[in-house]
Amino acid sequence: MLYNDCFSGVFDCKVRDGQPEKYRESAERLRRISTGNEYSYIFENIANLCEVLAVKYDLGVRTRKAYTEGKKDDLARLLSDYDGLILKIERFYESFEKQWMHENKPFGFEVQDVRIGGLIMRIRHCAKRIGAYLNGETDRIEELEAPVLNFYGENDTTANEAVVFNNWAKTFTVNNV
């Protein structure tokens, strides 16, 4: 769900109620156990990821709902989630880089630069588009008007299961890369 787009959301069909709170609780638990040992950096990184997911997990669903219901006040409030999310992702990036450099050679981290940097830019862009809509600079956000298709197809048998899919190129966009 980290790379699930806030507007086109290929995995929005899998969003479940209560999951953001579980991510928040996990972040708190991880922070409590992340001090004073040689593996603290791992727990810190996972806690930072959980804090990102506590906001991002359902942000696209909340955005689409506010937009389709014409609730501009709700959309305006969501802009603070977009701004705060960028800060959380930057914090995650820093801890992820620390873990990577501790456990790996630096080769390959440029992939993470592209993925996480692209995620930050996309979130900024979505927030900018919402702002333009709210300010009357545009009268619609087309991506939020398009139907959200189930990634697994019409015969999805994974309705209540968590998303277990680790393919960045097929997650962050509905388009071919």
Tens digit of pLDDT for each residue in 77-119? 999 999 999 999 999 999 999 999 999 999 999 999 999 999 9
For residue 92, give the nearest of 129, 48, 150 by alpha carbon.
48
Sketch the domain layout of the chain as residue ranges: 16-147
Rounded mean pLDDT of 159-174? Answer: 77
Mean pLDDT of 72-78: 98
Q: What is the mean pLDDT of residues 30-59?
A: 94
Whether pLDDT at 63 is above 80 = yes
pLDDT of residue 114: 96
Per-residue pLDDT, 75: 98
Percentage of the residues of the chain whose pLDDT score is greater than 90: 76
Which residues touch 150 (CB under 8 Å, ≥6 apart)?
Answer: 13, 156
Residue 45: the pLDDT is 98
Who contacts 67 (Cβ-Cβ below 8 Å, separation ≥6)? Answer: 75, 133, 141, 144, 145
Q: Are 58 and 1 in contact (CB under 8 A)?
A: no
Phi, psi for residue 18 in degrees, rounded to 5: 85, -15
Class at the top of the CATH hierarchy for domain 16-147: mainly alpha
Average pLDDT, stretch 128-150? 95
The pLDDT score that the predictor gives to residue 169 is 80
Find, among 126, 102, 128, 122, the residue nearest to 171 by Cα: 122
pLDDT at 93: 99
